[in-house]
Structure 1
């Protein structure tokens, strides 16, 4: 757990927030949601782990 929030609660909350943001920006043409590629996500995760070793997955 991170900050006393169970992982399932955090995942559910983030999913709902992403859905709300996507729906809100759906018809706003200047907006665009893009996610990093899987390989870039791995690199970002390595950077986070280097700074916060306790966040490393078990």
Structure 2
């Protein structure tokens, strides 16, 4: 599942993700996210059964 939401505010992102049927969200087994604290909150609220995997890849310009 991939989603593009034009915001990084956790409450806004969660609001959009909660529109996905709960049964489908509960089937998500793993989420890859960065180290931003708000992403952990989004993952926990939206996909409570999923394992959170932190991606520590750093972008260099």
TM-score, normalization by structure 2: 0.32
Q: Indicate the structure with greater helix content.
A: 1
Q: TM-score, normalised by structure 1?
A: 0.33
Which structure has the higher relative contact order (CA within 8 Å, separation 6+)?
2
Between Structure 1 and Structure 2, whose CA radius of gyration is higher?
A: 1
Q: Which one has the bigger strand percentage?
A: 2
